[in-house]
Structure 1
Amino acid sequence: MSLQYKINVLAALKEKGYSTYRLNVEKIISHSSIQKLKEGKMLGADGIATLCELLECQPGDILSYEPEPKE
């Protein structure tokens, strides 16, 4: 199973007024989660829920599923 971000999450957060500095200082999202987003790694369910709350969207708006190729 391969989940991927459909959008640049950090850019979308910045458009909503959430810079990485603000996210970190106000403890909205942990530093490790911000680093995962920079690297394109997937957050856990709680992190995805926080992103959806901040971006006012549903998980399907920011995530896509790509099935693994069958051998």
Structure 2
Amino acid sequence: MPVKYKIDVLAALKDAGYSTYKLRKEKLLGESVLQQIRENVPVSWANLGRICELLNCQPGDILEYDQDAGE
């Protein structure tokens, strides 16, 4: 897939004070979303928005387009 994460999202969330336990416990992100991130599968726009809110960033800070990755 030509769109991929350009940062380690889970590490960035952890650095911002959000462990995977806290994300699940406070219902900020579900386990299926966390698994998608672990597997480098893009998440829904709603979940991407939530991640941007938690990290105080823009989607372009998280995702990048790599034309060669789609070949």
The aligned residue for residue 19 of structure 1 is 19
Structure 2: runs of 5 or more not aligned: none
Q: What is the percentage of aligned positions where both structures have the same residue?
A: 48
Q: Shift in Å at residue 36 of structure 1?
A: 0.6
Q: Shift in Å at residue 45 of structure 1?
A: 0.5
> Number of matched residues?
69
4+ aligned runs moved over 2 Å, structure 1: none
The aligned residue for residue 32 of structure 1 is 32
Residues 1-71 of structure 1 correspond to what in structure 2 (within 5 A)?
A: 2-67=2-67, 68-69=70-71
Structure 1-normalised TM-score? 0.91
RMSD (CA atoms): 1.1
Structure 1: runs of 5 or more not aligned: none
Q: Shift in Å at residue 2 of structure 1?
A: 1.6
User: Equivalents in 2 of 1:44, 1:2: separation in Å?
Assistant: 16
Structure richer in helix, relative to its length: 2
Larger Rg: 1
Q: Shift in Å at residue 25 of structure 1?
A: 0.8
Q: Shift in Å at residue 40 of structure 1?
A: 1.0
Structure 2-normalised TM-score? 0.91
